[in-house]
Amino acid sequence: MIVGSIYAGWAPPTEAAAIGVAMAFVIAATQRAINWDMLVLSMKGTIRTSSMILNSPSPFWAVHETNFARAAEIAAASAERYVSKT
């Protein structure tokens, strides 16, 4: 589906990736594999990865240990503030 949409010219790689994420979510939902802990864990991972990229002066420095520590701080502080368990 993802490679096919890129190859057919229907979607650029970024949008094809979003389609892949949506399809994975649908598959997980149909198999009843989605739970609150999994969603929180995936959001924290997304925050961690995004903050490493955004806090680094260069994409090549994104793996520096300082950025890992900063990303962990941001993920711990930010995720709980914006995620409601209701």
| Residue % of the chain over a pLDDT of 90 | 6
Rounded to an integer, the average pLDDT of 14-40 is 89
Average pLDDT over all residues of the chain? 77
Nearest to 37 by CA among 67, 9, 79: 79
Residue 64, number of CB atoms within 10 A of its CB: 15
Q: Is residue 6 within 8 Å of 12, Cβ to Cβ?
A: yes
Is residue 49 over pLDDT 60? Answer: yes
Residue 27 pLDDT grade (very low, low, confident, very high; cuts 50, 70, 90): very high
Distance CA(81)–CA(1), nearest Å, equals 35
Q: What is the pLDDT of residue 39?
A: 85
Do 16 and 2 touch, CB atoms closer than 8 A? Answer: yes
Look at residue 30 in the predicted model and tell me its pLDDT.
Answer: 94
